[in-house]
Amino acid sequence: MAVYEQKLQQDLNSMRGEIIKLGEMVSRALSDSLQALFQGEYTLAQWTVLRDFPINRQCLRLNKQCHFFIARHLPSAGHLRLVTSVMQMIIELERVGDYARTIARETIHLQTIPTGSIQRHLQEMAHHTQDILYKSMEAFAKEDVALARSTLTNSKQVTLDLNRFYEELISTESAENGRDKAIQLLDMQSIAYMLERVSNRAANICEAVLFILAGETVPVRLHEIAFLESGEGSLALLAELLARKGYGEVARFRSAALQPAATLHPAVQQFMEQRGLTLPQQQVQSLAQLLPALHDIHILVTLNNPISHYGLTIPFHTTVLQWQVGSVSDLEQANASSVEAIQQALVVQMAELMTLLVGEEGV
């Protein structure tokens, strides 16, 4: 085999391998979101939302790989058909990842496990959907035309599942509010969701137009992250300053406390000064001061206590994490060296979170 043909085959194999990897990532996201829904695993739902970022990065890498393949090999016939099909698969798998993220967010918002006939219908629909996704990727991986055809035919089952589930919801709601009211609420929810999807696609079109006409690219997203503390605020501020020092170029950080003190805990302040962490003029923000900006926060990190401790109504698009890092209240007789364990716990969990959000190359 000629050198060029070897390189062509290597690039084809690499592209196929990466799309299979993307399919595995998306399948896991869907599986995790459904597990969270049916078993009430809300922490898993929060992580499923965040794991959409690696999926999106994989989609971007694959798109670049496809364009590079076209530029290098100028493919025709079967090879061109493959690369254009892979590009379409990227779009579809990215959407599935988005839908898995939405299921996870809805699960967090509902805070209840489906029961009775609604649960049964949802589980049947989930089973059929996962099976179709798995077999569609298997057909691609094994180049199995017959499996692709049979899976395409079986996909119609999910539409039947949806119709049955829709009728079940209407029947359940009708008992309390009347059938017409139930249908109206479901229809309005569907319309609102479709409008949001149209808006998102239209935004993508605008970004493409700006790139074509003006060479403008989408600015790097800065994640908005806030640390919450139920105490006087020294730990939350320490977390904020550590995060700014390590990841200030890819995210914006803030902190707040339920009972902010006028001054920092002496041990924490001594530790910050020794580590060169610049103290802000307004040292600790109250939770009330954070509330006006709550809808702009992408991730809320609570230190030690669960989010329920704060009495907040969490926006739908905000993800909540709880980190156990140790309490500053145990340091009354300590000095700055005693804060080391807390600092290390914060650094480890920050690194894990930021790697998830922006990838290893971004941190």
What's the confidence (pLDDT) of residue 331? 54
| pLDDT, tens digit (0-9, with 9 covering 90-100), for 24-40 | 999 999 999 999 999 99
Opening angle at CA 171, ends 168 and 108, nearest 5? 60
Q: Which residue has the tokens 């700014």?
A: 244
What's the confidence (pLDDT) of residue 1? 58
Given a cut of 70, is residue 236 above it in pLDDT? yes
CB of 353 within 8 A of CB of 299? yes
Residue 242 pLDDT class (50, 70, 90 cuts): very high
**Regarding predicted confidence, which is higher, 348 or 329?**
348
Cα separation, 11 vs 75, in Å, equals 12
| pLDDT, tens digit (0-9, with 9 covering 90-100), for 148-189 | 999 988 888 888 888 888 888 778 767 667 777 777 767 767
Nearest to 317 by CA among 50, 17, 125: 50
CB of 132 within 8 A of CB of 12? no
Cα separation, 271 vs 335, in Å, equals 8
**Regarding predicted confidence, which is higher, 57 or 330?**
57
Cα separation, 218 vs 216, in Å, equals 7
**Regarding predicted confidence, which is higher, 195 or 86?**
86
Please report the domains of the chain, with CATH numbers, ordered by start residue.
3-214 (1.20.58.220), 223-362 (3.40.50.2300)
What's the confidence (pLDDT) of residue 319? 96
Given a cut of 70, is residue 91 above it in pLDDT? yes
CB of 278 within 8 A of CB of 245? no
Q: Please state the rounded mean pLDDT for residues 15-30.
A: 95
Q: Which residue has the tokens 């209840």?
A: 112
The tokens of 121 are what?
């219908």
**Regarding predicted confidence, which is higher, 246 or 275?**
246
Buried b (16+ CB within 10 A) or exposed e, 268-280: bbbbbeeeebeee
**Regarding predicted confidence, which is higher, 97 or 210?**
97
The tokens of 101 are what?
């993220």
Q: Which residues pair with 319 in a beta bridge?
A: 299
Measured in degrees and rounded to the nearest 5, phi and psi for residue 128 equal -65, -40
Given a cut of 80, is residue 192 above it in pLDDT? no
CB of 297 within 8 A of CB of 276? no
Q: Please state the rounded mean pLDDT for residues 304-320.
A: 92
Helix (H, G, I), strand (E, B) or coil at 314: coil
pTM value surpassing 0.75: yes
What's the confidence (pLDDT) of residue 200? 74
Q: Which helix or strand (DSSP H or E) is residue 350 part of? A: helix 340-358
| pLDDT, tens digit (0-9, with 9 covering 90-100), for 44-90 | 999 999 999 999 999 999 999 999 999 999 888 888 888 999 999 99
Nearby residues of 137 by Cβ (< 8 Å), 6 or more positions away: 20, 23, 24, 27
What's the confidence (pLDDT) of residue 335? 58
Given a cut of 70, is residue 282 above it in pLDDT? no
Given a cut of 70, is residue 332 above it in pLDDT? no
